[in-house]
Structure 1
Amino acid sequence: MFDLSDVKVLVTGGSRGIGLGIATVFARAGAAVAVTARGTADLEAAAATLEAAGARAVVTVAGDLATRAGAAEVVGTAIAELGGLDVLAANAGIFPEARLRDMTEEDLAQVLAVNVGGTVHAVQAALPALEASGRGRVVLTSSITGPTTGFPGWSHYGASKAAQLGFMRSAALELAPARITVNAVLPGNVLTEGLAGMGQDYLDGMARSIPMGALGTPADIGHAVAFLASREAGFVTGHALVVDGGQVLPESPDAVA
């Protein structure tokens, strides 16, 4: 329905998991794709995956988005290598577990710095290139956890994901005159490397709680991001798209067939 073959996209936190799923969807559409990660360990493998998927060009950049200076360096390098930017998929995030009684100042500060600060800093750094594009798109990876649901041990994570949506709405208003849209996807439980490590019994239990009867895939999230990044979605801004197989719908476990 829509063509992304001329798009230049940057996916932060794009070396694995949901981020790599997003980047791979764009690669399969023939886009030029840049991915960032805090370390270099997974970037080489990610580049090979994206090249095999058909990306028009692949760029990898290692660095930390948690400070404005770090984000400016990482995003600036990616834009220079791509030769511009049309889409920022601000996906980078962390989700360490910490119960409220045990959570330290450092636990809270780290999650907010990466998940909220990193999002804001990445958008700030990308703004000149997105404005120059004439069709700039920002798509944030939030979560159902925080904006819609909660889970013990992730109160700081949930707070950060809800904060991203508050940022999204005001940023959408500020950037609309520049024809830049700002939206978010809210994944439910998605089968990534981290979730797979929880064991098959856990995965089966989570799948039973989802009306569609299965966990999501990184590609499911990628397709939603690709839609919001398309020209056809140019009149959609300030909205959060839940991609969860109906996970948030049941009133009780008995409502899931």
Structure 2
Amino acid sequence: MHMIRYAVFGHPIAHSLSPRIHTAFGHQLGIDVRYAAIDAAPEAFVEALERFAGDGGRGANVTMPLKEAAFALSAQLTERARRAGAVNTLTRVDGRWHGDTTDGAGLVRDLTARHGLDLRGRRALLLGAGGAARGVAPALLDAGIAELVVSNRTPERADALADALGEPKRAHSRYWDDLGNLGEFELIVNATSAARGGQGEFSLPFSITTSRTLAVDLNYGEAAIPFLAWARAANCRDVFDGLGMLVEQAAESFALWHGTRPDTDPVYATLRGHSAVLVTSD
């Protein structure tokens, strides 16, 4: 009989903290969790996932750039995954993969429950239109933001995401090069991967921020540094990386697989204590 296994798939994936997080959750609740990181390029993802299932894989998290591919291969989808058009959590049920997305719930829980912020009524800018952006967009709308502007360097992707959200009065796309003419935003979410691998500085016009702007990067660690540096230079009031979201979405996945939700605070505190990225809130 195969040992029950869990894993996170991505490309690259060596940097992932997910194995450490899920192992910590398991220790907390007395559950023996066998969780690994598996590097799979997009063209090899389906084969790698099936091999994992054959070796006892019961559940998998999916990160960049595989979230839309995970959506496409899911035999069954939750409503929030269907709205997002992206999947970050797969569960093996009767020989088939069931897809869900916990990213949006994780982001909103981190910002509201952990940091005590109110998202309602904010005008929001979502930078990026790939799997990461798709994963959080519906949850931001559900959290009560007043308007969601999606902008991506490939405008067709932004158009597709805005259309998929199905709320033309609240969610629409705008050109990246036109951001300086769109006024101010009280929430800016970076869902791009432009800064991964140290690809230079992050540059946006400061005119899009206000004295109460909340700036969030869905990346964590070194990949988040350029955007966070820009946000601080723009005098954004609250600046956060994606570490809290990572822990919260992991807890949502853990609960789906094991039937109980772990306490995220001690795990977050431990990881934050080892993180070189500063997070500020005035």
TM-score by length of 2: 0.40
Greater relative contact order: 1 or 2 (C-alpha under 8 angstroms, separation 6 or more)? 1
Q: Which has the higher strand share?
A: 2
TM-score by length of 1: 0.43
